[in-house]
């Protein structure tokens, strides 16, 4: 029997793809111990075209080919941006979003996530003001006779201070540069200004489509920003081949830490909204949405079609499960990691401490086919420890 083919699409992350292989291998070892499994993770291999990183996984005899579809080079071209680009691009973006009426529905559909995105931009604005204040304060120390000329140094001095502050806040706990640049990418992709990602999605669609007939099943997993990029890749396949998924190779899409309404509520994101509607209407592609209310970097209030102001989806499109954080990690660790937003955002890709709870490794590499799991959860209401999530308000 051919192996299962999993295509994993990461979020807005500039790290080399081998980082994800290392994470997968580490969590596989934990899952093996916690669940009494035998899991082997092979060495990673980059494809000749450089677009993917492949490795083999064997779980108690079940073979899975795991392929990470790369776009880290596109991320590195955009993050970190120069402060000069941010200083004129960020105001232009927010002027567009304010004029379009984007903020009100975004805040309504993504309460916590909206607070994070708006909050980091307010921090960015504060850092600009602080840089100017510090520059003016330093110049004010110059003796009075030379002060008028010294004020000419305020702009370059403020720029230097801002560069230092952005470097300091680039990582945890603020991630200001990362989230500001991520937001710019998302809305540039919505408007069509980001053309490289569109070309990359065409290549991804070719890679995914080529695996039909060679695998026991195809599973496309989109984490974070790839929750909408994965939909767009599948939509490209359906546009070229409407029978994809109907010729004997089951196809599933799994969105984890989804941020779909972040982009689809942008009035310029017509292409992404159309992709969302077409994939959601295609019954040949099963769709599972793994949600976590404790993940502030995801949007999980209700189904993404309704949140995107599109017609209500077909029944169980997508199937949604909610994973509880205390099923994944101990309470003492939760308290320590609670405000490390990016660490928590990745928690769903890790092994769970509870053997009965959702476990990413056991899910993607286990014996039960993923399309069968999704169908069973849909038909019988059975799922991992936890409960199904309907249209419920965020905490």
Q: 92-111: per-residue pLDDT in tens?
A: 999 999 999 999 999 999 99
Same domain, 197 and 339: yes
Residues, the chain: 395
Q: Per-residue pLDDT for 393 more than 60?
A: no
Q: The dihedral of CA 307, 312, 313, 316: what is its sign?
A: positive
Structural domain includes residue 240: yes
Same domain, 249 and 351: yes
Residue burial 122-158, b: 16+ Cβ < 10 Å; e: rest? ebbeebbeebbebbeeebeeeeeeeeeebeeebeebb
Same domain, 175 and 89: yes
Q: Per-residue pLDDT for 359 more than 70?
A: yes
Same domain, 84 and 173: yes
Same domain, 206 and 263: yes
Residue after which a domain boundary falls, among 121, 156, 187? 187
Number of neighbouring beta carbons within 10 Å of residue 332: 8
Lowest mean pLDDT among 28-42, 105-119, 186-200, 321-335: 321-335
* pLDDT above 70: percentage of residues in the chain: 95
**Can you give the pTM of this predicted structure?**
0.94
Same domain, 266 and 353: yes
Number of compact structural domains in the chain: 2
CB 332 within 8 A of CB 285: no
Structural domain includes residue 278: yes
DSSP conformation letters of 85-135: HHHHHHHHHHHHHHHHT-HHHHHHH-HHHHHHHHHHHHHHHHHHHHHHHHH
* pLDDT, tens digit, 9 for 90 and up, residues 53-79: 999 999 999 999 999 999 999 999 999
Same domain, 138 and 119: yes
Residue burial 248-263, b: 16+ Cβ < 10 Å; e: rest? ebbbbbbbbbbbbbbb
* pLDDT, tens digit, 9 for 90 and up, residues 198-212: 999 999 999 999 999
Q: Alpha-carbon distance 269 to 75, whole Å?
A: 20
Q: The dihedral of CA 323, 326, 328, 334: what is its sign?
A: positive
Q: Which domain CATH number covers 207?
A: 3.40.50
Structural domain includes residue 238: yes
CA 17 from centre of chain? 15
Structural domain includes residue 395: no
Q: Per-residue pLDDT for 18 more than 50?
A: yes
Residue after which a domain boundary falls, among 156, 187, 218? 187
CB 258 within 8 A of CB 266: no
Residue after which a domain boundary falls, among 160, 187, 214? 187
Which range marks the domain in which residue 319 is found? Answer: 4-74+193-388
Give the count of alpha carbons within 13 A of 153, CB side only. Answer: 16
Same domain, 273 and 319: yes
Determine the Cα angle at 224 with ends 308 and 296, to 5°: 85
């Amino acid at each position: 029997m051919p192996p299962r083919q999993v295509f994993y699409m990461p979020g807005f992350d500039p790290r080399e793809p081998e980082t994800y292989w290392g994470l997968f291998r580490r969590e596989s070892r934990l899952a093996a111990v916690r669940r009494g499994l035998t899991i082997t993770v092979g060495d990673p291999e980059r494809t000749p075209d450089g677009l993917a990183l492949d490795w083999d996984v064997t779980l108690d005899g079940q073979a899975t080919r795991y392929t990470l579809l790369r776009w880290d080079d596109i991320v590195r071209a955009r993050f970190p941006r120069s402060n000069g680009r941010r200083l004129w691009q960020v105001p232009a973006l927010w002027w567009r979003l304010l004029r379009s009426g984007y903020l009100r529905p975004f805040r309504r559909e993504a309460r916590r996530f909206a607070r994070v995105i708006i909050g980091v931009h307010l921090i960015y604005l504060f850092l600009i003001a602080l840089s100017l204040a510090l520059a003016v304060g330093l110049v004010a120390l110059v003796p009075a006779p030379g002060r008028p000329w010294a004020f000419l140094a305020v702009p370059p001095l403020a720029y230097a201070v801002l560069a230092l502050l952005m470097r300091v806040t680039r990582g945890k706990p603020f991630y200001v540069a990362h989230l500001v640049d991520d937001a710019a990418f998302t809305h540039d992709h919505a408007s069509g200004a980001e053309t490289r990602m569109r070309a990359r999605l065409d290549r991804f669609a070719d890679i995914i489509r080529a695996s039909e007939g060679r695998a026991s099943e195809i599973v496309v997993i989109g984490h974070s920003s790839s929750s909408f990029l994965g939909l767009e890749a599948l939509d490209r396949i359906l546009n070229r081949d409407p029978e994809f998924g109907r010729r004997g190779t089951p196809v599933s899409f799994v969105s984890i830490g989804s941020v779909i309404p972040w982009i689809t509520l942008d009035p310029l994101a017509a292409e992404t909204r159309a992709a969302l509607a077409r994939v959601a209407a295609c019954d040949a592609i099963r769709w599972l949405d793994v949600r976590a209310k404790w993940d502030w970097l995801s949007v999980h209030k209700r189904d993404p079609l309704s949140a995107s102001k599109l017609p209500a989806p077909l029944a169980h499109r997508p199937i949604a499960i909610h994973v509880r954080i205390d099923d994944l990690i101990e309470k003492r660790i939760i308290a320590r990691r609670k405000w490390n937003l990016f660490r928590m955002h990745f928690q769903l890709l890790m092994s769970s401490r509870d053997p009965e709870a959702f476990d990413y490794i056991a899910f993607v590499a286990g014996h039960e086919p993923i399309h069968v799991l999704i169908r069973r959860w849909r038909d019988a209401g059975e799922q991992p420890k936890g409960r199904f999530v309907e249209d419920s308000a965020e905490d």
